[in-house]
Amino acid sequence: MKKITIITGHYGSGKTNLAVNLAIRASGEGKTVAVVDLDIVNPYFRTADFRGLFEENNIELIAPDFANSNLDIPSVQFDVEQLAKNRECLIIDVGGDDAGAFALGRYAEALKSYGDDVAMYYVVNQRRYLTESPEQAISLMYEIESASRMKHTAIVNNTNLGCETTAEIVDSSAEFASEISVRTGLPVEFTAYPQECAELSDNPDIFPVKVYVKPLWDL
């Protein structure tokens, strides 16, 4: 992983679950990790929900002042330079679509100063409404870049149907992710598979993920 990893995508694409998995993996490798919850729009399914899990794994969480309360408002402050200096791995979970990306734009210049030490992943989910075609997904990607004033460095294929996800569903999205890659010139960094499905796939570029973010009725 790069020193700084930024995760963007459509609402419900699985950004937060991916961010949690990346943080847990980095911490498990002995790295010092901080996660920034930059979702100032959506009060549900956000990295701030996993404060206890992060504490158990020695991961620092930076979240909006009123995250997980009835007073959830756009108020987040963090020092990119200081966090990157004091942590080996900084993961930024950006709010969905271009609305959330405006918050990222506030830190664009500071983040760009880290050059090749920054990865910005665009998470795609073919089974998510409004990103079911490469055209839709690419259009949204460019909207996020315009709002954030930053450029993505890679695609992450996170196609899933929640608890109904099978290896076949993920495997069938390979052409979808490949088409986005070809049209944008960005590589597919990896394809995320639920842990129980990963061993059933022939895809060599697998990133097994544990499902931490679940519907309220599954909690």
Encode the chain (219 residues) as per-residue pLDDT tens digits. 899 999 999 988 999 999 999 999 999 999 999 999 887 665 545 677 888 999 999 999 988 755 444 444 445 677 888 888 889 999 999 987 777 798 899 899 999 999 999 999 999 999 998 999 999 999 999 999 999 999 999 999 999 988 888 989 999 999 999 999 999 999 999 999 998 887 777 777 789 999 887 654 444
CA neighbor of 208 nearest in space, from 9, 51, 12, 17:
17
Which CATH architecture fits 4-218? 3-Layer(aba) Sandwich (3.40)
Task: List, in sequence order, every residue forming a beta bridge with 218; answer none if it has no partner.
Answer: none
d(CA 186, CA 136): 16
Tell me the backbone φ, ψ of residue 147, rounded to 5 degrees. Answer: -70, -35
pTM: 0.90
> Residue 173: which region, alpha, beta or left (left: phi > 0; alpha: psi -120 to 50)?
alpha
Q: How far is CA 131 from the centre of its chain?
A: 16
Residues 6+ apart with CB under 8 A from 44: none
Sheet holding 33-38, edge to edge: 59-62, 33-38, 89-94, 4-9, 118-124, 154-157, 188-194, 206-209
